[in-house]
Amino acid sequence: MSKKEFTEEQIRISRVAKALAHPVRIAILQLLANESCCYHGDMSEIIPVAKSTLSQHLNELKEAGLIQGEFTPPTIKYCINRENWELTREMFSSFIDNITK
Protein backbone atom coordinates (compact mmCIF):
# COMPACT_ATOMS: atom_id res chain seq x y z
CA MET A 1 0.00 0.00 0.00
CA SER A 2 1.52 3.32 -1.04
CA LYS A 3 1.18 6.63 0.75
CA LYS A 4 -1.08 9.21 -0.84
CA GLU A 5 -0.95 12.97 -0.62
CA PHE A 6 -3.69 14.74 1.28
CA THR A 7 -6.44 16.09 -0.95
CA GLU A 8 -7.23 19.78 -1.21
CA GLU A 9 -10.55 19.06 0.49
CA GLN A 10 -8.86 17.31 3.43
CA ILE A 11 -6.51 20.25 3.86
CA ARG A 12 -9.36 22.77 3.65
CA ILE A 13 -11.54 20.86 6.15
CA SER A 14 -8.68 20.63 8.64
CA ARG A 15 -7.85 24.33 8.20
CA VAL A 16 -11.42 25.41 8.89
CA ALA A 17 -11.78 22.94 11.77
CA LYS A 18 -8.65 24.38 13.36
CA ALA A 19 -10.00 27.91 12.97
CA LEU A 20 -13.26 26.87 14.65
CA ALA A 21 -11.50 25.08 17.51
CA HIS A 22 -11.35 27.98 19.96
CA PRO A 23 -14.17 29.58 21.98
CA VAL A 24 -12.93 33.12 21.25
CA ARG A 25 -13.22 32.46 17.52
CA ILE A 26 -16.70 31.03 17.95
CA ALA A 27 -17.67 34.17 19.91
CA ILE A 28 -16.26 36.35 17.11
CA LEU A 29 -18.22 34.45 14.48
CA GLN A 30 -21.43 34.63 16.50
CA LEU A 31 -20.95 38.37 16.95
CA LEU A 32 -20.30 38.91 13.25
CA ALA A 33 -23.25 36.70 12.28
CA ASN A 34 -25.55 39.13 14.09
CA GLU A 35 -23.98 42.25 12.53
CA SER A 36 -23.35 43.16 8.92
CA CYS A 37 -19.83 44.20 9.95
CA CYS A 38 -17.98 45.12 13.14
CA TYR A 39 -14.88 47.15 13.92
CA HIS A 40 -11.96 45.64 15.81
CA GLY A 41 -12.29 48.24 18.59
CA ASP A 42 -15.98 47.47 19.08
CA MET A 43 -15.29 43.74 19.29
CA SER A 44 -12.57 44.31 21.87
CA GLU A 45 -15.18 45.88 24.16
CA ILE A 46 -17.46 42.83 23.88
CA ILE A 47 -15.14 39.82 23.67
CA PRO A 48 -13.21 39.30 26.92
CA VAL A 49 -9.62 39.13 25.62
CA ALA A 50 -6.82 41.62 25.08
CA LYS A 51 -6.83 43.53 21.79
CA SER A 52 -3.65 41.80 20.66
CA THR A 53 -5.17 38.38 21.40
CA LEU A 54 -8.34 39.36 19.56
CA SER A 55 -6.21 40.36 16.56
CA GLN A 56 -4.53 36.95 16.52
CA HIS A 57 -7.90 35.19 16.54
CA LEU A 58 -9.25 37.46 13.81
CA ASN A 59 -6.19 36.68 11.69
CA GLU A 60 -6.73 32.95 12.16
CA LEU A 61 -10.35 33.26 10.99
CA LYS A 62 -9.30 35.49 8.11
CA GLU A 63 -6.57 33.08 6.97
CA ALA A 64 -9.15 30.27 6.99
CA GLY A 65 -11.34 32.43 4.74
CA LEU A 66 -14.22 32.55 7.19
CA ILE A 67 -14.14 36.33 7.65
CA GLN A 68 -12.85 39.26 5.68
CA GLY A 69 -11.37 42.51 6.86
CA GLU A 70 -11.37 45.95 5.31
CA PHE A 71 -8.83 48.49 6.45
CA THR A 72 -10.62 51.74 7.22
CA PRO A 73 -8.07 53.95 8.97
CA PRO A 74 -7.45 53.93 11.84
CA THR A 75 -9.06 50.50 12.33
CA ILE A 76 -10.23 47.39 10.50
CA LYS A 77 -13.83 46.46 9.80
CA TYR A 78 -14.59 42.72 9.78
CA CYS A 79 -17.52 40.74 8.44
CA ILE A 80 -18.42 37.15 7.62
CA ASN A 81 -17.19 35.98 4.22
CA ARG A 82 -20.62 34.72 3.09
CA GLU A 83 -19.38 33.08 -0.11
CA ASN A 84 -16.72 31.06 1.72
CA TRP A 85 -19.20 30.16 4.47
CA GLU A 86 -21.53 28.63 1.90
CA LEU A 87 -18.64 26.63 0.41
CA THR A 88 -17.59 25.57 3.93
CA ARG A 89 -21.13 24.50 4.80
CA GLU A 90 -21.32 22.37 1.65
CA MET A 91 -17.87 20.89 2.27
CA PHE A 92 -18.65 19.92 5.88
CA SER A 93 -22.07 18.59 4.92
CA SER A 94 -20.50 16.34 2.30
CA PHE A 95 -17.76 15.27 4.73
CA ILE A 96 -20.27 14.37 7.46
CA ASP A 97 -22.57 12.59 5.02
CA ASN A 98 -19.65 10.47 3.74
CA ILE A 99 -18.61 9.56 7.29
CA THR A 100 -22.09 8.51 8.35
CA LYS A 101 -22.78 6.27 5.31
Spatial separation of the C-alpha atoms in residues 72 and 84, rounded to whole Å: 22
Compute CA 12 distance to the chain's CA centroid, rounded to the nearest angstrom. Answer: 12
pLDDT tens digits, one per residue of 53-85: 999 999 999 999 999 999 888 889 999 999 999
User: What is residue 73's predicted lDDT score, i.e. its pLDDT?
Assistant: 86
- 72: domain CATH number is 1.10.10.10
Q: What is the pLDDT of residue 36?
A: 86
pLDDT of residue 19: 96
Residue 90 lies in a domain: yes
Helix (H, G, I), strand (E, B) or coil at 36: coil
**Average pLDDT value over all residues in the chain:** 93
Which pLDDT does position 3 carry in this prediction?
Answer: 79
Look at residue 3 and tell me if it is in a domain: no
Structural domains of the chain, count: 1
- Domain of residue 36 covers 10-95
Label residue 19 exposed, middle or buried (CB < 10 Å: 0-12, 13-18, 19+): buried
| Secondary structure (3-state) at 78 | strand
Residue 101 in domain: no
Residue 56 belongs to some domain of the structure: yes
89 within domain boundaries: yes
The answer to whether residue 15 is domain-embedded is: yes
Q: Is 44 among the domain residues?
A: yes
Average pLDDT over residues 23-47: 94
How far apart are alpha carbons 66 and 33 in whole angstroms? 11
Other Cβ atoms within 10 Å of 14 Cβ, number = 11
- pLDDT of 1 over the 80 cut: no
Residue 24: inside a domain, yes or no? yes
